[in-house]
Amino acid sequence: MNKHILEQHLERLSERLRILILQNARYESDYDLVFLKELYNLSHHMLLLKKQLQKVEQAEDVPIKVSEDVSLF
């Protein structure tokens, strides 16, 4: 996946997470199991995407070594 697609997925998950939190905002400290599972799943996917994005960014920073041997042409 390229960097732009990963960033879009991450932004969508982040938006879903914000909506989920706002929908379940309560004064109680007691959250239902469905909310907690969805919160966990979204967070987990966001962490995976962030790691993938980091790898893509690091790969972009690595210079590509070009062989000076032109005898292949």
Global pTM value: 0.70
Is the residue at 35 inside a domain?
Answer: yes
Is the residue at 43 inside a domain?
Answer: yes
Is the residue at 16 inside a domain?
Answer: yes
Is the residue at 65 inside a domain?
Answer: no
The string of pLDDT tens digits covering residues 14-72 is: 999 999 989 888 767 777 888 899 999 999 999 999 999 999 888 877 665 655 555 54
The count of domains in the chain is 1
As a whole number of angstroms, the distance between CA 33 and CA 39 comes to 10
Is the residue at 24 inside a domain?
Answer: yes
Domain that residue 35 falls in = 3-55
Is the residue at 67 inside a domain?
Answer: no
Is the residue at 72 inside a domain?
Answer: no
Angle (CA) 45-16-59 rounded to 5° is: 40
